[in-house]
Amino acid sequence: MRIVIEGDSRGHFVVPGTVNGASMRFLVDTGATSVSLSAADAQRAGIDYKKGLRGQSNTANGIAPIWIVKLNSIRVGGIELSGVDAAVHESEMPFVLLGMSFLNRMQMTRDGSRLVLERRY
């Protein structure tokens, strides 16, 4: 399975998808260790994030508390994965960050203004 994501005018790759069946907008972020979402997005996806493992994340705004959870499902285009690690932040986020806990299962190829993701396993 493969998907092609067109870059926006700033070169960012934004794509719709779902977490546990709830619609989300993802920003591809190869600098993010894991998929990262806000507490509000986690709640929309039915995730009781406070049952997750508490930790800390180094963000552009400093150190922030997070909860590490496993996503039942995450879908982007025709690619669906289960058991993907995610970090839940209590701060608001304009997008769900599609980080390396998802992307490391993909073959990523940049083709001009396009990013091609192909499932590796």
What integer pLDDT is reported at residue 53 of this predicted model? 97
Q: By C-alpha distance, which of 121, 81, 102 is closest to 26?
A: 102
Place of tokens 């590490």: 68
What pairs with residue 63 in β-bridges? 58
Which residues have CB under 8 Å from 63's CB, separation 6+? 56, 57
Question: Which DSSP string do the residues of 88-109 spell out, in sequence order?
Answer: EESS--SSEEE-HHHHTTEEEE
pLDDT tens digits, residue range 19-63? 999 999 999 999 999 999 999 999 999 999 999 999 998 877 789
What integer pLDDT is reported at residue 119 of this predicted model? 95
Of the pLDDT bands very low, low, confident and very high (cuts 50, 70, 90), residue 2 is: very high
Taking the C-alpha atoms of residue 116 and residue 4, their distance in angstroms, rounded to an integer, is 5
110 pLDDT exceeds 90?
yes
75 pLDDT exceeds 90?
yes
What integer pLDDT is reported at residue 121 of this predicted model? 74
What integer pLDDT is reported at residue 58 of this predicted model? 84
Ordered domains of the chain (ranges, CATH): 18-104 (2.40.70.10)
